[in-house]
Amino acid sequence: MAKDMVRLSNNISAKIREKQGDITEDETVRFKSYLLSLGIDDPVTRDSYKSDQQYYRSLAKQISDIVTEPISDVGGMMALTDVFCRVNRARGLELLSPEDLLNACRIMDSLNLPIKLHQFDSGVKVLQLQTLDDENVATSTSELIEDKGSLTAEELARLLNISVLLSRQRLLVTESCGKCCRDESIEGLRFYPNLFLTRD
């Protein structure tokens, strides 16, 4: 069945190329979105390469192709567990092991790809855009805290449409940069603007 789907996607691609002038732009976009939903037609596999290094380089590029756009859509970072699920969904029957995913992600920075592996102090690993760093995260998060008056991890997760795990990491990074303060009570952990930075 997977081979049939690949054949179908290749046929559709060929028809789009043949009839470039006859198909409207809307139809082309729709066809391309159908192809993307079918997954990768040629997943990188270990037996195609002579060395692990070549395999991981190609795999890193393929992972970047799959998740860079979704990562951009969710604020610039995605937990490695979510990346693992997305990549394996796109690969169909050629599933990837967690070790191979992690090894490929570790070399992304050296390949100048648009995303890189980042580990928070808590140990949580994410893929994030190259343009995103702790200072950027702290600045954007502190602006949201100031705008709302205070935020919990759950509230920030809803605002940014990200997981509570990632929103908590963003708040902790903001706190470590000195751009917010925490209040722990029986109601839980809540973060407030750091008034020492904003008051004269």
Q: What pLDDT is recorded for position 92?
A: 80
Position 196 scores a pLDDT of 80
Per-residue model confidence (pLDDT) at position 142: 93
The token pair that represents 129 in the structure block: 């855009």
Q: What is the pLDDT of residues 54-65, one digit of tens each?
A: 999 999 999 999
Residue 163, burial from CB neighbour count under 10 angstroms (0-12, 13-18, 19+)? middle
Quick one: pLDDT at residue 23? 58
What's the predicted TM-score (pTM) here? 0.70
Structure confidence at residue 185 (pLDDT): 87
Quick one: pLDDT at residue 58?
A: 92
Confirm or reject CATH 1.10.10.10 for domain 134-198, answering yes or no: yes
**If you search the block for the tokens 């690949």, which residue do you land on?**
6
Q: Report residues of the chain scoring pLDDT below 50.
A: 1
CATH topology assigned to domain 44-130: Arc Repressor Mutant, subunit A (1.10.10)
Q: How far apart are CA 114 and CA 49, in angstroms?
A: 24
Domain 134-198 in the same topology as domain 44-130: yes
Q: What one-character DSSP code corresponds to residue 150?
A: -
Domain edges within the chain? 1-38, 44-130, 134-198
| Nearest Cα to Cα of residue 131 among 154, 148, 114 | 114
Q: What is the pLDDT of residue 51?
A: 86
